[in-house]
Structure 1
């Protein structure tokens, strides 16, 4: 399904920096654990079963479409499916998160990773086709992948990390090995995003969730250069590319150098200030602090309106959070925030 099948999409218009009557809205992790309906599904299946069963992935993807009325859907999956396809022994444990039983720590580990893995990720393409049948052109579908540095950090650490010590030791003591690993992940990521585009997504987002762990020089060498390569090799005709990283308020100028259509901005910066410093034609997404959604509804409305008034007159603005929805944010508050956005007019 191409952009042409979707009538008057606010999301696609804003992503391509065109004028819209209001900012479009979607939220990272919008199909997640804050919804009771998610848990009804999650209690029956493991997380990976949900990702790998196209009908179930479609069910979860559609929850915020049906229950929240957002302006764009995002594929239900995980950034680590690429690492698993390459040979990572991935599991998810409640309260612990992702774990790799075979962390990547040396040359033989890197050599063992596969790079021709499209057949292992076919379930994602199958899910996209089911979702697009259900959406039936009503709103766009966003696909996504994890950026190489972030995926590498999980592989090297063996799971989540607070300090990324092993990852930083790798890039500082063995930079050539780190680059070999990153190059393999980048190759898989390019193929994977192009597989999603071929299957019918209408936009893609590159998630560099842990970029903020890096200094400017290390971000440039071990993250940005690979993200730039990925974006340059996407089949992106009519497909906007969103670049997200924790730390975008710092790294936005470099992120712009990779020429995405949209930069997703965390909540640590003034969004208009970031937008003014970006080249013309690059839209911004974000940057509400997700913790605002815990607050009273009058606070939620005031903060959203404050952001919108700040961005008044700016083309190319997609409303989103600076990061994903936390699991214990009240569903009613999320729904209210989306209603506030949808009622607003410039």
Structure 2
């Protein structure tokens, strides 16, 4: 167990996103952005220097600095920070090698292609506290440095999404190997998904012990599954995470309620089920019409999203217009709503456009 006294963390001054995630009526919808810390900010490149991506993640001081950069740049416009890390640290903790190729993304030199490959991972004893110690130290460092300005997100990848990377060896357009696995060896797939889920539950729980105050699960490749396959290979494991993290937190001595958000990109057919999956909030990609999503949700959970990130390339006038339409579509945002993009920022975005987006979200959200 981590030896951390959570009562000694700085007092939280802005709990807007926590209240909104719990479904409370708020004075305005809280705002944050997926990938708000990263390559579109010039200060990120200064902090990263010439170091490898994962080397930066594993340096608690540098990861903390990068996490706080957007909070500092967009003072009083962001209502949360999200720890600078990556969803693929779980496969790393499970004994797999992951490299981040500049300009290409993640690469697994030895992806899972045979039953023997999978068995090696299943047999690997995962010590989450040891393997991901740097992640927990980064969270604790950041929580203290934030001085209570905003809550800090912890996160992990969804089990199906991690399975895709572990079998494909990186990103994919046709998902040949992942689909081959689930349609040829479904029992083995479930064993691997279960082990990944177990690691994710412990990882998320220990992030909270380290200082995280809200959690998000990124099922980024959810939309590559059919509705039936999503019900078999994704949803049960997402539901396990939602139910077992609170149980594990009680075992670890954490008594406060920690909101949890699920983001299953492209899984339009699953919204109704996700609203009943045990999470406090469901994040939407930009393919959703807000009013239609609200109609399906019927106030069961908080919805998050969902501006198309590409709008940020538009003029200030276009951004203003689409922000207003989005917030209106979510009923004005005073309850059951968190402002976000429908996915993460791009490396080529203008930071000033992001600022305009955030300012307009505040303006319309406060009306």
TM-score of the pair, normalised by structure 1: 0.96
* 1:121 aligns with one of 132, 136, 140: 132
* 1:14 aligns with one of 20, 28, 31: 20
Q: Which residue of 2 aligns with 1:44?
A: 50
Q: Which residue of 1 aligns with 2:156?
A: 145
Matched-pair contact (CA < 8 Å) for 1:53–1:123? yes
Q: Map 1:76-115 to 2 at 5 A.
A: 76-113=84-121, 114-115=124-125
CA shift, 1:273, in A, is 1.9
CA shift, 1:8, in A, is 4.4
Give distance in 2, aligned partners of 1:234 and 1:104.
27
Give distance in 1, aligned partners of 2:219 and 2:208.
19
**Structure 2 SS opposite 1:234:** helix
Between 1:106-115 and 1:185-194, the stretch displaced more is 106-115
Q: Is 1:249 aligned to residue 259 of structure 2?
A: no
CA shift, 1:177, in A, is 1.1
Distance 1:48 1:8, change over 3 A: closer
**Runs of at least 4 residues off by over 6 Å:** none
**Structure 1 SS opposite 2:217:** strand
Give distance in 2, aligned partners of 1:188 and 1:310.
37
Which ranges in structure 1 are unaligned for 5 or more consecutive residues? Answer: none
Q: Which residue of 1 aligns with 2:258?
A: 239
Matched-pair contact (CA < 8 Å) for 2:294–2:330? no
Give distance in 1, aligned partners of 2:115 and 2:268.
35
1:267-301 deviation line (CA, Å, top 9, x unaligned): 11111321232253410000101100000001101
Q: Which residue of 2 aligns with 1:289?
A: 308
Q: Map 1:1-346 to 2 at 5 A.
A: 1=6, 5-69=11-75, 70-113=78-121, 114-118=124-128, 119-235=130-246, 237-278=256-297, 280-313=299-332, 315-344=335-364, 345-346=366-367
Matched-pair contact (CA < 8 Å) for 1:115–1:188? no
Between 1:164-173 and 1:245-254, the stretch displaced more is 245-254
**Structure 2 SS opposite 1:178:** helix
**Structure 2 SS opposite 1:327:** coil
Give distance in 2, aligned partners of 1:332 and 1:245.
29
Give distance in 2, aligned partners of 1:272 and 1:278.
10
Which ranges in structure 2 are unaligned for 5 or more consecutive residues? Answer: 1-5, 250-255
Matched-pair contact (CA < 8 Å) for 1:148–1:223? yes
**Structure 1 SS opposite 2:67:** helix
**Structure 2 SS opposite 1:116:** coil
Matched-pair contact (CA < 8 Å) for 2:93–2:126? no
Matched-pair contact (CA < 8 Å) for 1:220–1:254? no
Matched-pair contact (CA < 8 Å) for 2:20–2:302? yes
Give distance in 2, aligned partners of 1:103 and 1:150.
14
Give distance in 2, aligned partners of 1:272 and 1:16.
20
Matched-pair contact (CA < 8 Å) for 1:115–1:185? no
Give distance in 1, aligned partners of 2:290 and 2:127.
38
TM-score of the pair, normalised by structure 2: 0.91
